[in-house]
Amino acid sequence: MKKLLIGLSLLACVPTLATAGDAEAGKAKTATCVACHGAEGIAAVPVYPNLAGQNEAYLVSALKAYKSKERNGGMAAVMQANAAALSDEDIADLAAYYSSLK
């Protein structure tokens, strides 16, 4: 019983993995993103971060934080407005797409 309780408590510490996004669907959803982050996820202006090759889980986390207005500073107001319109599926798809780029 003690081993079962330890195992269950360890599982509680592991973040729940969301359904993986669809990179092709994500590519189709980048119309708003490309203005700042570039067509291939490489920003032309240094103030905007490159998204190409970024860690997928990080992108999901960042977009959700912008959507919930937990992430502030810099260009957060712009990102909050853009992320507000995204569903969880959109976020997963965009993250899958940008993380797949080199």
State the CATH number of the domain containing residue 26.
1.10.760.10
Structural domain boundaries, residue 60: 22-100
**Residue 57 falls within a domain, yes or no?**
yes
Helices in the chain by DSSP H: which ranges? 2-13, 23-28, 34-37, 56-67, 76-84, 88-100
- pLDDT, tens digit (0-9, with 9 covering 90-100), for 25-71: 999 999 999 999 999 999 999 999 999 999 999 999 999 999 999 99
What average pLDDT score do residues 62-82 get? 95
Please tell me the distance from the alpha carbon of residue 83 to that of residue 46, in angstroms, as a whole number. Answer: 21
- Report residue 1's pLDDT band, with 50, 70 and 90 as the boundaries: low
Q: For residue 34, give every residue at least 6 positions away whose Cβ sits within 8 Å of its Cβ, in sequence order, or none.
A: none
**Residue 17 falls within a domain, yes or no?**
no
Please tell me the distance from the alpha carbon of residue 54 to that of residue 96, in angstroms, as a whole number. Answer: 10
Quote the percentage of the chain above a pLDDT of 90. Answer: 77
pLDDT of residue 45: 93
Domains of the chain: total? 1
pLDDT of residue 5: 44
pTM of the complete model: 0.80
